[in-house]
Chain A
Amino acid sequence: MNRLRLWLLAVGGAGLAALLVAACLDLPAFGGRWHPYGDRAVQASLDRHIANTIASVNFDQRAYDTLGEISILFAAVLGCVVLLREARDEHRAPPEPAEVARPVRRYALLVLPVALVTGLYVIAHGQLSPGGGFQGGVVAATALHLLYLGADYGALERVRPLGVYEASDSLAVCAYLVLGLAGVLAGTAFLANTLLPYGTFNTLSSGGTVPLLNAAVGMEVASAVVVLLAHFLDQAVEIEEEHGS
Chain B
Amino acid sequence: MNTAMHVLPYLVAVYVFLTGCYGLATSRNLIHAVGCLAVCQSATYVLLLAVGYRDGATAPVFSDIEPGSRPVVDPVVQALTLTDIVVGATVTALLLALVLQIAKRHGTVDPDELRELRG
The reply to whether B75 and A45 contact each other, CB–CB distance below 8 Å, is: yes
B36 within 8 A of A: no
Residues of A within 8 A of B72 (CB): 38, 42, 53
Residue of A nearest to B78 (CB): A54
Q: Is A73's CB under 8 angstroms from B90's CB?
A: yes
Contact mask for chain A residues 42-74; partner B; CB cutoff 8 A; 1 contact, 0 none: 100110000111101110001001100100110
Cβ of A57 and Cβ of B79 under 8 Å apart? yes
Are B63's CB and A25's CB within 8 A?
Answer: no
Check A83–B91 contact: CB distance below 8 A: no
Chain A contacts of B14 at CB under 8 A?
17, 20-21, 24
The CA-CA distance from A80 to B54 in the complex, in Å, is 40
Could you list some 10 contacts between A and B, CB below 8 A?
A13-B18, A27-B10, A27-B51, A31-B54, A51-B62, A52-B63, A54-B79, A57-B79, A62-B79, A231-B97
Q: Is the CB of B63 within 8 A of A41?
A: no
- Of the candidates B8, B59, B93, the one whose C-beta lies within 8 Å of that of A80 is B93
CB-based contact A17/B75 at 8 Å: no
Task: Assess whether A157 is interfacial by the CB under 8 Å rule.
Answer: no
A128 at interface, CB cutoff 8 A: yes
Say whether A33 contacts B54, CB under 8 Å. Answer: yes
- Chain B, residues 70-83, CB within 8 Å of chain A (1/0): the string is 01111111110011
Instruction: Give 1 or 0 for each of B84-118: 1 = CB within 8 Å of chain A CB.
Output: 01110011011011101100100000000000000
The dominant DSSP class at the A interface is helix
B77 contact set on A, CB distance < 8 A: 38
Interface size (B, Cβ < 8 Å)?
52
* A24: B residues at CB distance < 8 A: 7, 10-11, 13-14
Cβ A41 vs Cβ B76 within 8 A: yes
Main secondary structure of the interface of B (DSSP, over half): helix
Measured in the bound complex, the distance between the Cα atoms of B85 and A21 in whole Å is 24
Minimum CB–CB distance for B36 against chain A, Å: 13
Chain A CB within 10 Å — which of B13, B52, B83, B87 has the most? B83
Query: Contact: B97 with A38, CB < 8 Å?
Result: no
Assess whether B74 is in contact with A84, with CB atoms less than 8 Å apart. no
Task: Establish whether residues A30 and B83, one from each chain, have CB atoms under 8 Å apart when the complex forms.
Answer: no
A129 within 8 Å of B (CB atoms): yes
Check A52–B1 contact: CB distance below 8 A. no
Decide: A79 near B7, CB < 8 A? Known: A30-B53, A35-B74, A54-B60: no
Q: How far is the CA of A221 from the CA of B82 in the complex (A)?
A: 13
B63 touching A235 by the CB < 8 A rule? no
Q: Which one, B71, B75, B93, B98, contacts A54 given CB within 8 A?
A: B75
B86 surroundings in chain A (CB, below 8 A): 69, 72-73, 134, 221
Query: Contact partner of B101 among A9, A66, A83, A202, CB < 8 A?
Result: A83
Whether A35 pairs with B52 at a CB distance below 8 angstroms is yes
Q: Is the CB of B10 within 8 A of A84?
A: no
Top 10 A-B pairs, shortest CB-CB distance: A38-B74, A76-B90, A24-B10, A29-B6, A53-B75, A57-B79, A53-B60, A31-B55, A83-B97, A51-B63
B96 touches A25 (CB 8 A): no
**B54: contacting residue among A32, A41, A221, A235, CB under 8 A:** A32
Q: A30-B8, A42-B60, A69-B87 are in contact. List 17 more A-B contacts (CB 8 A).
A: A24-B11, A24-B13, A24-B14, A29-B6, A30-B7, A31-B1, A33-B55, A37-B76, A41-B75, A41-B76, A51-B61, A76-B90, A79-B94, A84-B101, A129-B61, A134-B82, A231-B97
